């Protein structure tokens, strides 16, 4: 499709955004479905967030992704925030619905879809979730609705405790603790799914893993939500132990797919989005 006067405009806003994979992923999806839509990236500083969001309304943009450092602050400028995003305290997607801005969080459902689509997720499973930051919260909210047992471990245990407490009514058996080698070692033999939602192992500290390799086992599914690098140290260690690995790029693609469906009400062309996103790593 050619960009013209009727094109619908979508954007990611954050700082920095120049390495974001979202424009490539969503523009590939628009092209595949022959939608007259275009997705761009805008660098917005914290001081400019309010005026940028007012601009979104005046310019008539159709949808937004929100990235660091605005995922929490953006809620102050939206007309509505859906219940999951409100509970998590993080908005990563905004629908502009006839001038009304509605905030969503697609990270949790994206992570769970990535696991399910890779054939790993069932209700009887126990998950150990490392981290209690924005992404971990979103995953914990979604996972605790379906899982049998969820253990949240964080460097700052108070945050994990607070998160666990907020999930009590969701059905799963939830406990929390410190992210220490001893506790991870104790939990691992009975764990089915290990998710790293800390930033340990992210570029430029790519050689690090949040857990020692000797505690990993072949019955585990390991999802490291970090996608830079694509193949993290934890993912390498897990593969070497014969564990199933779901990459962070899968979560990125599925959270993008959920956002695409919120905006367009059309099924997201997952394969096209995956191919376009993975192609960026070959450059
Ligand atoms: P965040 O809110 O800043 O949380 C960071 C988490 O990492 C906290 O739990 C923090 O623990 C922990 N942490 C940081 N440094 C640590 C260290 N040296 N040792 C142990 N724990 C450490 O960040 P976020 O938004 O949740 O993002 C976390 C990671 O997920 C990032 O790498 C991000 O790129 C990735 N992510 C991926 C996707 C995807 O679609 N695949 C989506 C969102 C985020 P404390 O609480 O103790 O500080």
| Residue 71 annotated as catalytic | yes
Nearest-angstrom CA–CA distance, 96 and 147: 33
**Per-residue model confidence (pLDDT) at position 242:** 97
The answer to which of 110-124, 142-156, 205-219 has the lowest mean pLDDT is 110-124
Q: Is 88 in the pocket of ligand 1 (CB under 6 A)?
A: no
**Per-residue model confidence (pLDDT) at position 2:** 87
66-70 mean pLDDT: 97
At 168, is the pLDDT very low, low, confident or very high (cuts 50, 70, 90)?
Answer: confident
| Residue with the two structure tokens 């962070």 | 248
Q: Higher pLDDT residue, 171 or 142?
A: 142
Which strand ranges, in their side-by-side order, compose the sheet holding 80-81? 37-43, 8-14, 63-66, 93-97, 100-104, 80-81
Dist. CA 109 → ligand 1 center (Å): 17
Nearest-angstrom CA–CA distance, 123 and 103: 28
Query: What is the 3-state secondary structure of 234-278?
Result: HHHHHHHCCCEEEEHHHHHHHHHHHHHHHHHCCCCCHHHHHHHHH
11-39 mean pLDDT: 97
**Per-residue model confidence (pLDDT) at position 43:** 98
User: Over the stretch 222-255, which tens digit does the pLDDT of each residue have?
Assistant: 999 999 999 999 999 999 999 999 999 999 999 9
Q: Which of 36, 37, 39 is nearest to 17 (CA)?
A: 39
- Structure pTM? 0.96
Q: Which of 71, 100, 165, 283 is catalytic?
A: 71
Supply the mean pLDDT for the chain: 96
Q: Is 257 in the pocket of ligand 1 (CB under 6 A)?
A: no
**Per-residue model confidence (pLDDT) at position 170:** 79
The answer to which of 71-80, 169-178, 208-217 has the lowest mean pLDDT is 169-178
Which of 19, 199, 257 for a ligand 1 pocket mutation test, highest count of atoms within 8 Å of Cβ?
199
User: Over the stretch 190-210, which tens digit does the pLDDT of each residue have?
Assistant: 999 999 999 999 999 999 999
* Long-range pairs for 178-182: beta carbons < 8 A, 24 or more residues apart: 178/153, 178/154, 179/130, 179/131, 179/153, 179/154, 179/155, 179/210, 180/153, 181/211, 181/212, 181/215
**Per-residue model confidence (pLDDT) at position 221:** 96
Which of 93, 131, 205, 209 for a ligand 1 pocket mutation test, highest count of atoms within 8 Å of Cβ?
131
Atom of ligand 1 nearest to the CA of 137: 26
């Amino acid at each position: 499709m050619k960009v013209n006067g009727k094109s619908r405009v979508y954007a990611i806003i954050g700082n920095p955004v120049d390495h974001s994979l979202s424009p490539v992923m969503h523009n590939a999806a628009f092209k595949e479905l022959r939608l007259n839509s275009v997705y761009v990236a805008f660098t917005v500083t914290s001081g400019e967030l309010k005026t940028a969001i007012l601009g979104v309304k005046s310019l008539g943009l159709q949808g937004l992704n929100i990235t660091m450092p605005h995922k929490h602050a953006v809620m102050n400028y939206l007309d509505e925030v859906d219940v999951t995003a409100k509970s998590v305290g993080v908005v990563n997607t905004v629908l502009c619905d006839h001038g009304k801005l509605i905030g969503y969080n697609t990270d949790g459902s994206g992570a769970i879809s990535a696991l399910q689509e890779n054939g790993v997720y069932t209700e009887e499973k126990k998950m150990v979730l490392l981290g209690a930051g924005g992404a971990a919260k979103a995953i914990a909210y979604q996972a605790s609705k379906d899982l049998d047992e969820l253990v949240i471990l964080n460097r700052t245990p108070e945050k994990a405790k607070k998160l666990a407490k907020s999930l009590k009514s969701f059905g799963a058996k939830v406990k929390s603790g410190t992210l220490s080698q001893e506790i991870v070692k104790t939990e691992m033999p009975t764990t089915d799914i290990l998710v790293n939602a800390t930033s340990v192992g992210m570029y430029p500290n790519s050689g690090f893993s949040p857990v020692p390799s000797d505690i990993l086992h072949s019955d585990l599914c390991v999802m490291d939500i970090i996608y830079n690098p694509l193949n993290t140290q934890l993912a390498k260690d897990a593969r070497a132990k014969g564990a199933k690995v779901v990459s962070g790029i899968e979560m990125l693609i599925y959270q993008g797919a959920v956002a695409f469906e919120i905006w367009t009400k059309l099924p997201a062309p997952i394969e096209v989005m995956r191919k376009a996103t993975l192609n960026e790593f070959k450059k």
